[in-house]
Amino acid sequence: MAEREPANPVSATAYWTLAARYADATGPRPIANDTYAERFMDDTARAVADRFRSLTRPAATFPVRHRIIDDLLRAELDRDPNLRVVVVGCGFDTRAFRLAGGRWLEFDEPELIVTKEARLPASEAPNELVRVPSASGRSRSRPRSRRTRRPTPPQSSSRASSGTCRTTRGGRSS
């Protein structure tokens, strides 16, 4: 596959974290051991990883962060195997394939969702998985209204949250 830049520059972060998880999985002592990461490593992922190669300290923390979130989600899914898990900005996350249980919703840029679906189809997931393309990071043709409603506070705090990953029970965030 030919090298290309992601259409949305923010999507480059998905490739950078992917490369860190791939390096971890293929290393001598994996921490997160995301063996599915290899399915997404291509010229684009390698080019993005090369651009960030000098940032070794932040990249070294990605597998650790990934493992912590895995462990928190595993505990939640052990308590409730039918838990709804919503991953916003999912990038090349593979938890719906690696963790037992859950009803998964993944949101990200259309380009990333298409790439992800081509290399690791949702239909192959052992858990319920729906992928939703969302172009939320792109500019809009008309300005947004400044009037907004104040959001209703959640009923309880999120137990397995990374800032991008929320669990829900019965349609309510938990």
Residue 1 lies in a domain: no
Q: Are 15 and 21 in contact (CB under 8 A)?
A: no
- pLDDT single digits (tens) 42-84: 998 888 888 877 776 657 788 999 999 999 999 999 999 999 9
Q: What is the pLDDT of residue 4?
A: 61
Better-predicted residue by pLDDT, 97 or 4? 97
Residue 4 lies in a domain: no
Q: Which helix (H) or strand (E) holds 85?
A: strand 84-88
Residue 145 lies in a domain: no
Residue 150 lies in a domain: no
| CA 121/CA 103 separation, integer angstroms | 16
Q: What is the pLDDT of residue 56?
A: 67
Amino acid making up residue 15: Y
Can you say whether the dihedral through the CA atoms of 56, 89, 99, 18 is positive or negative? negative
| CA 170/CA 59 separation, integer angstroms | 36
| CA 32/CA 85 separation, integer angstroms | 19
Residue 61 lies in a domain: yes
For the chain, what is the domain count?
1
Name the residue range of residue 117's domain: 9-137+155-173
Residue 146 lies in a domain: no
Residue 95 lies in a domain: yes
Q: What is the pLDDT of residue 137?
A: 53
DSSP for residue 17? H
Residue by residue, DSSP assigns 32-75 as S--GGGGGG-SHHHHHHHHHTTT-HHHHHHHHHHHHHHHHHHHH
Cα distances from 161 to residues 94, 132, 139, in angstroms, run 16, 20, 27
Q: What CATH number is attached to the domain comprising 132?
A: 3.40.50.150
Is the pTM above the cut of 0.75? Answer: no
- pLDDT single digits (tens) 127-171: 999 999 997 655 444 334 344 344 444 444 334 434 344 444 554
